[in-house]
Structure 1
Amino acid sequence: MVQTKVKQTNMPIIIICAITAAVLITAILTAILLPPKELKVSLAGYGSTESGIPASHGLSVNASGSYYTNPDLAKIQIGVETKNPDLRKAQTESNQIMESIMQTLKDAGIEEKNMQTANYSISPHTPYDSSEIDYYRVNNKLHLRIYELAKIEEILNRAVEAGANQIGSIEFTLEDYEQAREQSYELAMNAAQKRAAFLANGMDVELGDLLAITGSHTNYRPFYFSGYANQALASEPGMESGYSESISAGQIEVNTQIDLLYAIVNKL
């Protein structure tokens, strides 16, 4: 009777051990015999995708495209600086000269909407060895938008003749660069596709689907002409009223950089 009770007591333990062993054997056989699950592609800068392509089977390329075009707009600041011990006289002189400049610009074809006051400042000047103000300096600057680029030299010379004695550097730019951006994007895309095909051929593999287009951004570089910069053209003794240096508008560069991620489907 005692032996029978012992066998009945150990029976559940034997059954549990047998079940555990069976589960372990099944898991091992499953891991060996069944194919691995599909992997997500995860490359630096691209994140993950449910493409089912192993990470080692992806090809990423980077390329850029630059599109050059002629500018259609020039931005420039012109101004007048006056000095006088009497502040009111300095202001009056500055205002009168600026009114003359603006009228001259209108006569040259610049619409009033393309003229905007950029800066108006008053600065007292005190000698280093005295606490008394010896004169006041009044600066009045005007921001211009010029669309007739062929007339820039004429316009600036007429402004100088009207009393302008400060002319900043000229920025040649585009009124709307969206079309140029699209052109540069197309150039970058073509370059990236050619680079991917070249690399795939060198690696003896075949390109699959295009999985991602990332990192696309456009740099827009206006052209600056500084021949007029910081020229006190009309106020310095001995200087002619006008400026004869030839102005060239050059070209605008619109550059786009792009990253493409391709799947590699099989060997050639």
Structure 2
Amino acid sequence: MNRRRFLAASTVGAAVTVAGCTSDLLSADSSSNSDDDSDADPSGTTGAAPETGSGRGIEVSASGEIETEPDLAVASIGVEASGDSADEVSGELAERADALRETFDDLGISDDAIEDGRYRVHPVRGDGSGFEGSHSFRVEVEDVERVGEVIDASVDAGANDVGQVEFTLRDETRAELRNEAVDAALENADAEAAHIATNRAVELNGIRSVSTSNADVVPVRSDGAEYESDDAAGGAETTIDSEPVTVRASAEVVYGFEDAN
């Protein structure tokens, strides 16, 4: 699996606070005005002074990102039908849905990877007459290179409602990359705290507290209008290109510090 860590792109915010000794707030924001503390907003983005044992702490909020290729695709595939009666539409939907299920089985897709989506039959809206309906499936494809094959086989089996394909990560991959994203966030926090300490002529002397967030997975989505087929090859071979998936995590760390010797 091809992975890259994006540290430079991570968002890092920091505040240096001295609680109990003075009311000064030393900020990494170069736009702050240190000559006019009366207008300072204590509820700003840097937050309140951390409650540390000695009252002296550097509080850093940082984020980290990991980018990797997806190892799971989730496709929305379904059938639509119309007719003079609700029973006629329901019957046609059932036949097409059964054909889809057989196709999924022939493709080696397990029942656990297939979830029934929306099913509805209703009168035609507006000035039309008769009924129309749809039945969709949520299909997980672990080999993302086979998504086009799955879509083509489904269309051949009668699917006429191919929707969004989401490229994402399996649960075990998410858990693994969450740890790497947290590592990246903590590395960013360490670097930012060291920079602040150097700038303020103090020395870090330990970590007072650490908190991390759950990782957010940013999937890549493609809709039906973006799919391409190669008709010249003697058959409609659908190809869907996916971009890398991003896993993001954030951390808040309070570092103790002391005056430099």
Task: Give the TM-score normalised by the residue count of structure 1.
Answer: 0.72
How far apart, CA to CA, are the structure 1 residues paired with 2:251 and 2:67? 18
Q: Report the AA paired with residue 108 of structure 1.
A: L
Contact 2:149 2:237 in 1 (8 A): no
Query: For residues 244 and 105 of structure 1, do their structure 2 counterparts lie closer, same or farther at Cα, with a shift above 3 Å needed?
Result: same
Name the aligned partner's letter for residue 254 of structure 1.
V
Task: Kindly indicate whether residue 219 of structure 2 is the aligned counterpart of residue 212 of structure 1.
Answer: no
Counterpart mapping for 1:41-80 below 5 A: 44=47, 48-49=51-52, 51=53, 53-54=54-55, 57-80=56-79
1:151 counterpart residue number: 146
C-alpha contact (below 8 Å) 2:117/2:136 kept by paired residues = yes
CA distance 1:117–1:181, shift in 2 (3 Å): same
Quick check: 1:87 aligned with 2:86? yes
Q: Distance in 1 between matches of 2:190 and 2:160?
A: 53
| CA displacement at 1:127 relative to structure 2 | 4.4
Distance of 2:198 and 2:105 partners within structure 1:
62
The aligned residue for residue 137 of structure 2 is: 142
Aligned-residue offset at 1:254? 0.8
* TM-aligned CA distance change 1:59 to 1:247, over 3 Å: same
Q: Which structure has the larger Rg over C-alpha atoms?
A: 1
* Structure with higher helix content: 1
Alignment of 1:20-39 (within 5 A): 39=20
Tell me what 1:102 maps to.
101
The structure where strand makes up a greater share of residues is 2
Q: Which residue of 1 aligns with 2:113?
A: 114
Cα shift readout 1:136-169 (whole Å, capped 9, x = no counterpart)? 1021111111112111101101101111111111
CA distance in 1, matches of 2:169, 2:216: 13
Alpha-carbon distance in 2 for matches of 1:46, 1:246? 54
Q: What's 2:27 paired with?
A: none
Deviations 1:13-57 (A, max 9, x none): xxxxxxxxxxxxxxxxxxxxxxxxx959999456523x2x23xx3
Unaligned runs of 5+ in 1: 1-37, 234-241
Match of 2:160 among 165, 178, 183: 165
Report how many aligned residue pairs link the two structures.
Answer: 213
Alignment of 1:214-253 (within 5 A): 214=211, 216-226=213-223, 228=224, 244=237, 246-253=239-246
Equivalent of 2:193 in 182, 193, 196: 196
Answer yes or no: is 1:187 the counterpart of 2:180. Answer: no
What is the percent sequence identity of the aligned residues?
24
- TM-score normalised by structure 2 residue count: 0.73
Q: How far apart are 1:243 and its partner, in Å?
A: 5.6
Helix, strand or coil at the partner of 2:95: helix
Which ranges of structure 2 fall in alignment gaps of 5 or more residues? Answer: 1-18, 24-45, 230-234
CA change 1:141–1:46 in 2 (3 A) is farther
Deviations 1:80-129 (A, max 9, x none): 1100013222211111111111111211111122122111101112543x
**Structure 2 CA distance for partners of 1:160 and 1:45, relative to 1, 3 Å:** farther
**Larger deviation: 86-95 or 244-253?**
244-253
Quote the residue 2:256 is aligned against. Answer: 263
CA contact (8 A) 2:152 2:238 kept: no
Q: Compared with structure 1, are the counterparts of its residues 46 and 106 closer, same or farther at alpha carbon in structure 2 (3 Å cutoff)?
A: farther
